[in-house]
Amino acid sequence: MPDPAATPSDPGPQPAPRQPSTRAITSGRGASGRSLAPALWASSVWESTDMTDARRRATGVRVDEFYSRYSNPTVRSFEDAMAELEGAEASLAFASGMGAISTVVLALCSQGDHIVAQRNLYSATLAFLQGPCARFGIDVTFVDGTEPGAFAAAVQPGRTMLALAETPSNPRLALVDLDELAALRGPITVVDSTFATPLGQQPLAHGIHLSLHSATKGIAGHNDATLGVVSGERDLLDAIWAYGVLHGATPSPFDALNALRGIRTLAVRTNHQNATALYLAEALERHPAVTAVHYPGLSSHPQHLLAKRQMRQFGTVFSLELAGGLPAVEHVLERVGLVRVATSLGGPETLICHPCTTTHASLTDREAAEQGVTPGLLRVSVGLEDAADLWADLQASLAGAPGAA
């Protein structure tokens, strides 16, 4: 029976906001009807009823049933789920993380514009900013994102269109202060939050304009989808979409379906992976073959207090420095068994890679030195295996490594 005290202007008690782990289960179901599994809309094109309907679809913004380069119901379901997880008005998906980054930059910047970006970036992002952006006349200033005030000092009023950060950064897990970045006046702020996932941190809640992910990684979480996604205000994303349909970094509905499946288990996966990452990072800090472990969850991390302030989880990835440099790296990579040598992250298998010769191989020697990508650095993406089994495998691979104290 309705509460007699409730009136149209007094709807009564409102349900408490659902937790992120619950939203990962309930979100993104608009195109699936009563099916519990996401519906796959594989069509690339839909028919129109007449000329008026065709024109409406052709000139509308992100119309679902027209042409899949414009939008697709399965992709839209993934976007809706991401918007809920990010606390955003809307999300926009792309064919890869780099598709998201390049589209955002080229949609919002023109010849003569200026970008401020941190120096410690994923190498493909760095290559894009230094290559195509320079060729198109878009100037980029690189700063130390860990230095207070560095972004603000580099902003050129009236000219700086974007301030681009990656936190935690790849591969040394350095952090950028989200509150300080959001306080910038003038540029649109963009954060690549791939290493954190939407359950690890919420850049938009700090006032950042756009939160961006390579959803290939922890969001999809099974090494079977290639996607990028950006979230923020609807009007801003609609403007990016208008350029994106020309840029053509169109996401596959098959990949969106797999990413939606990944979102359903995102909370339980990342909870396990975060706990194992901290366990391994703490154990490796004490190993005689290791000189340093980079992980925001460690009290030894120089930005641990910042991590505690702006992150819900400390992440599923860490990196470690081997005392024996490159010979020690070769020793370890030849001996790991349960841990697999591969360059991605966020999946169910624990992966290890040598950034200097893989993910960051395009860096010059000077750039690698500036970013701390040393010959002795290894990056580990923690999977879903038992933590004790992983530690046993890493111990065995480190045994007898050159340079051990």
pLDDT in tens, 163-216: 999 999 999 999 999 999 999 999 999 999 999 999 999 999 999 999 999 999
pLDDT in tens, 238-266: 999 999 999 999 999 999 999 999 999 99
Residue 277 and residue 283: Cα distance in Å, rounded? 10
pLDDT at position 405 is 74
Which whole number is the average pLDDT over 10-18?
Answer: 74
The answer on pLDDT for 3 being more than 60 is no
The pLDDT, as a whole number, for residue 164 is: 98
Query: pLDDT at residue 9 above 90?
Result: no
Treating both helix axes as pointing N-terminal to C-terminal, what angle do 325-335 and 387-398 enclose, rounded to 10 degrees? 130
Structure tokens at 190: 């963009």
C-alpha Rg value of the chain to the nearest Å:
22
CA 188 – CA 255 distance, rounded (Å): 29
Domains with residue ranges and CATH for the chain: 20-264 (3.40.640.10), 266-398 (3.90.1150.10)
| Contacts with 279 (C-beta within 8 Å, 6 or more apart), sequence order | 387, 391
Q: Is 209 helix (H, G, I), strand (E, B) or coil?
A: coil
Mean pLDDT value across residues 344-354: 98
User: How much is the average pLDDT of 260-281?
Assistant: 98
- Separation CA 290–CA 279 (nearest Å): 15
Rounded distance, CA 258 to CA 246, Å? 25
Give me the DSSP letters along 236-292: HHHHHHHHHHHHT-PPPHHHHHHHHHHHHTHHHHHHHHHHHHHHHHHHHHT-TTEEE
Query: Which three-class secondary structure state does DSSP give residue 330?
Result: helix
Residues ≥6 apart with Cβ < 8 Å to 392 = 338
pLDDT recorded at residue 16: 79
Mean pLDDT of the chain: 95
User: 380 in the Ramachandran plot: left (φ > 0), alpha (ψ -120 to 50) or beta?
Assistant: beta
Whole-number pLDDT of residue 404: 85
User: What φ, ψ does residue 166 adopt, rounded to 5°?
Assistant: -130, 110
- Cβ proximity of 168 and 196 under 8 Å: yes
Please report, for residues 36, 41, 199, 266, the alpha-carbon distance to residue 255 in angstroms, rounded to integers and kept in the order given.
18, 11, 21, 16
Each residue of 27-52: pLDDT tens digit? 999 888 899 999 999 999 999 999 99
Q: Token pair of 196, please? A: 């954190």
Q: How far apart are CA 279 and CA 277, in angstroms?
A: 5
| Whether residue 5 has pLDDT greater than 70 | no
What is the model's pLDDT at position 15?
A: 74
